[in-house]
Structure formats: structure tokens, C-alpha cells
Amino acid sequence: MTRIPSKIVYESLYGEVMNDRDDDEVNESDADEENDSDDDEYPKVTISAFTETGQEESSIIVPLQRAYTGREPVISSRLADTPCATLGTQGLLDQLNTTLRTSYSLDNPFLSSLLEDCITNDCDVGMAYGCLRQIWYTDDWSTIRGALCRWEEEDRERDQKAIIGNRIVHTDLPPRRVWDLYSNRVVPHWITDTAADGW
């Protein structure tokens, strides 16, 4: 199962609750996912501007950026800022398992290798979570590294084809990076777009 943040993004940007018509237009798969899951799929979390930044909530201009309470698997900025090396491979896995309600173990060499890469590449938990969250519920970890490399290469090729000289010739080019609300990090666009490729 993949969770797509479109409803949260909409509400955060526009400061209003998405109505049913908007919800259908932006993300038609949300209704199906909600029907397939219980209300308590993820634990209820609350993140507020005050606890995250120390700013008074009233000082935040966009109303729905003041606080979030819900069952989406978001992580706090404190956790996102934690270096993966501080947690170690087992600690990182434990944190991801807790956040995403899974019970993977380091017995899987492909998963273990991906987590070790997060440490080797000096990632913090936010970046690791942003990169791994979309693919976390896979049935075949042996294909993940290849898929991630392929998607990154396809994104690079699309960017190269869209630019000739110093001019962008394909105006439908997606952004290179986007803010991932779940991981509290700016991540490459192709990471958040993996849900569209179907697992």
C-alpha cells in the first residue's frame, strides 16, 4: 500500500479542507485506500508549529500549517534531523518499522544493505524515510535497489531531453525536488512519483 500526500499538501497550501469534489480530482485512490484500511492503521500523531519550531501557532500564516493531528505516518522534525549513524542499522529499521507499522528484520540482506547505505551516505532519518517510505511495503526487496537506480536514471534522462542548450524545450517537466510532508525533507521528485509506476 502506498500513501500519497495530495490531500495533506492541498490542505497545507490552500488553508482549507478539501471538499469531496477536490479530493476526487486530486487523488482518486484515497477513497479506495480508506475503504481497505481501518481507522487505526497508523497511530494518531500531533505535530504543531510550537513543538516543532518554538513559534506560536498564531504566527504561522497558513492555518493548516499550524498543527497537524491525524493518522498519516508523519515524523517529527526532531526525528527527521537524527543522523542514521546515531541509530545504527537496527535502530533505523526499528524506527521505520514503528512509523510504518511493519515488522521487517535485518535477516533480509537487501533491506539491510539499503539501510546500511543510508548510514554510509550520511543520511538523516528524514532523508532515509523520504526515500524508503514509498517502497516500504514491497513484496520483493531484491528488486528495490535496481528500481530506485532505474527511476533516478529515467529522471536524469528526462531532464536532459527537456533542455537544449540553455533553454527548456519541454514545459511539462516536473520539479527536480519537492517537499515531502511525511519525512519533513526536500526529496527528488522521482522518489515521490514512484507510486504512479505501480508496485
Q: Between these two residues, 47 and 25, which has the higher pLDDT value? A: 47
CB 73 within 8 A of CB 181: no
If one counts every other C-beta atom within 10 angstroms of the C-beta of residue 184, the result is 23
Domain ranges (residues) in the chain: 1-72, 75-199
Residue 62 has what pLDDT?
76
CA angle, corner 125, sides to 129 and 118, nearest 5?
85
Q: What are phi and psi of 48, to 5 degrees?
A: -130, 160
pLDDT tens digit sequence for 17-44:
544 444 443 333 343 444 444 445 777 8
pLDDT tens digit sequence for 49-66:
777 777 787 887 877 777
pTM above 0.75, yes or no: no
DSSP of 28-74: THHHHHHHHS-TTSS--EEEEHHHHHS--GGG-SSGGGSEEEESS--
Residue 41 has what pLDDT?
78
Cα–Cα distance for residue pair 82/122, rounded to 1 Å: 11
Amino acid letter, residue 107 = D
Exposed/middle/buried for residue 56 (C-beta within 10 Å: 0-12, 13-18, 19+):
exposed
pLDDT tens digit sequence for 106-155:
999 999 999 999 999 999 999 999 999 989 999 999 999 999 999 999 99
Which range has the worst mean pLDDT, 21-25, 77-81, 87-91, 160-164? 21-25
